[in-house]
Amino acid sequence: MELNKSWYIKGLQDGIPISLGYLAVSFTLGIAAKNAGLLPMQATLMSLLNNTSAGEFAALGLISSQASYLEMAITQLTINLRYCLMSCSLSQKLDPKASLFHRFVIGFDVTDEVFGVSISVKGKLNPFYTYGLMSMSIPGWALGTCLGVVSGNILPRRILNAMGVALYGMFIAVIVPPAKKNKVLCGLIIVSMFASLLFTYLPVLKKIPSGFQIIILTVVIAGVAAVLFPLKAENTEE
Amino acid sequence: MYNIYLYILVMAGVTYLIRVLPLTLIQKEIKNCTLRSFLFYVPYVTLAVMTFPAILSATGSILSALIGFIIALVLAYRGADLFKVSVGACLTVFIIELFL
């Protein structure tokens, strides 16, 4: 019990930067939602239930063009498919004793950020750590969306620009420290960033939707690495 | 006329299933070494791919973003925690943009 509580508190703390970053992104999302004709209540509900930036931005486009529900379902499936990969990875990080109930709750908020921070803990993941992250980040995401709809210019541009890097800063804080001690990880990160650069700017490749780019690059690069540099048994706990 | 609430429910349902199925279906530890290694490497590759070059277009100018990126790398390498790296990057961008 005490252990769960201290994991929860640690999660709350580490959730602060997620929340800050979310506030900036969801603020822009709220402005887009307003332009798509959503009421503050509707936009906030959308953010509360979905927790996916790219998915929600795409949804707004579909809503304003009155696309079919099937189109909406397929778009969400393709854009958010990367979460499936993250959930698979998370299933191995999670404490094997974690009950089905915990799995259903954690599954609600497997975002890029909550996932990234959850896998950064040492050893197996205690579900309460993720609950702490969720308790900070979900309100941040929903509140930002709501504020964006209600008043498009409450935050000055300068502040929004600065907050724009918050989430990336977190990703860096997650991947860099383990790479310091592990040459394979270090090489993997450099290769990944370079490949991502190519996919962003090269003709043909840049036409691939970003959700798929992430999936393709992840499967190929992590796959090759798994074959070339299989983990030793004791190595997975890092 | 389409109903916005139904749109939201469809979105939420699909997205939740994508996230929850692997977590509930894969409850055991995977024994296969290649698969285990693959899943271990996934987060590093995914997060690296999502960070760069996307971070460069996250602020008002490429220059402020690039310097913010470098500062974040340095802070993380020197062992700063999540919060410090993240806020450090934000402050860097803020300060650089004051001079642009």
Q: What is the pLDDT of residues A20-68, one digit of tens each?
A: 888 878 887 888 888 888 999 999 999 999 998 878 888 888 888 888 8
Instruction: For residue A94, give the 3-state DSSP assignment.
Output: strand
CA of A2 to nearest chain B CA: how many angstroms apart? 23
Residue B2 lies inside a defined structural domain of this protein: no
State the pLDDT at residue B8.
94
Residue B43 lies inside a defined structural domain of this protein: yes
Place of tokens 């993720």: A130
A212 shares a domain with A110: no
A205 shares a domain with A155: no
The pTM assigned to this predicted structure is 0.81
Percent of chain A whose pLDDT exceeds 70: 96
Residue B4 lies inside a defined structural domain of this protein: no
State the pLDDT at residue B6.
93
A204 shares a domain with A147: no
A158 shares a domain with A42: yes
CA of A31 to nearest chain B CA: how many angstroms apart? 17
CA of B18 to nearest chain A CA: how many angstroms apart? 5
The predicted-structure confidence for B43-87, as pLDDT tens digits, reads as follows 899 889 989 998 998 888 999 999 999 999 999 999 888 788 888
**Cβ(A86)–Cβ(A110) under 8 Å?**
yes
Chain A interface, mutation test: which of B2, B3, B7, most A Cβ atoms within 10 Å? B7
Residue B78 lies inside a defined structural domain of this protein: yes
> Which domain, by its residues, includes B78?
31-98
ipTM of this predicted complex? 0.88
The predicted-structure confidence for A67-85, as pLDDT tens digits, reads as follows 889 988 988 888 788 899 8
Query: Which residue in the set B21, B51, B59 is minimally distant from A164, CB to CB?
Result: B59
Spatial separation of the C-alpha atoms in residues B35 and A231, rounded to whole Å:
10
State the pLDDT at residue A238.
43
Question: Total structural domains in chain A?
Answer: 2
A103 shares a domain with A22: yes
State the pLDDT at residue A233.
59
Please check the confidence at residue A189 and state whether its pLDDT lies above 90.
yes
Residue B5 lies inside a defined structural domain of this protein: no
> Which domain, by its residues, includes A113?
2-175
Instruction: Kindly report the average pLDDT of chain A as a whole number.
Output: 88
Residue B53 lies inside a defined structural domain of this protein: yes
Chain A interface, mutation test: which of B86, B93, B100, most A Cβ atoms within 10 Å? B86
Spatial separation of the C-alpha atoms in residues B62 and A164, rounded to whole Å:
12
A14 shares a domain with A87: yes
State the pLDDT at residue A237.
47
Spatial separation of the C-alpha atoms in residues A196 and A186, rounded to whole Å:
16
Instruction: Inspect the interface and report whether the beta carbons of B72 and A169 lie closer than 8 Å.
Output: yes
Give mean pLDDT, residues A91-119: 91
B97 close to A (CB below 8 A): yes
The residue of chain A with its CA nearest to that of B41 is A222
Please check the confidence at residue A128 and state whether its pLDDT lies above 80.
yes
State the pLDDT at residue A212.
79
> Cα angle at A117 between A114 and A122, to 5 degrees?
140
**Cβ(B59)–Cβ(A165) under 8 Å?**
yes
> Domain ends where: A123, A154, A175?
A175
Place of tokens 């999936």: A215
State the pLDDT at residue B1.
59
Q: Which two tokens stand for residue B68?
A: 């913010």
The residue of chain A with its CA nearest to that of B8 is A46
B2 close to A (CB below 8 A): yes
Give mean pLDDT, residues A187-197: 96
The residue of chain A with its CA nearest to that of B92 is A162
Please check the confidence at residue B3 and state whether its pLDDT lies above 50.
yes
Instruction: Inspect the interface and report whether the beta carbons of B46 and A86 lie closer than 8 Å.
Output: yes
Query: Which residue in the set A17, A104, A188 is minimally distant from B24, CB to CB?
Result: A104
Instruction: Inspect the interface and report whether the beta carbons of A172 and B72 lie closer than 8 Å.
Output: yes
Query: Which residue in the set A66, A165, A173 is minimally distant from B76, CB to CB?
Result: A173
Q: How confident is the model at residue A118 (pLDDT cuts 50, 70, 90)?
A: very high
The predicted-structure confidence for A138-163, as pLDDT tens digits, reads as follows 999 999 999 989 877 667 888 878 87
A194 shares a domain with A140: no
> In A36-181, which ranges are continuous DSSP H helix?
40-50, 53-64, 69-80, 82-93, 100-106, 112-118, 127-150, 157-163, 166-181
Q: What is the DSSP secondary structure assignment for residue A230, as one 8-state letter?
A: P
State the pLDDT at residue A12.
94
CA of A143 to nearest chain B CA: how many angstroms apart? 17
CB atoms under 10 Å from CB of A31, counted, come to 18
A191 shares a domain with A221: yes
A155 shares a domain with A82: yes
Instruction: Inspect the interface and report whether the beta carbons of A108 and B30 lie closer than 8 Å.
Output: no
Query: Which residue in the set A110, A197, A230 is minimally distant from B33, CB to CB?
Result: A230
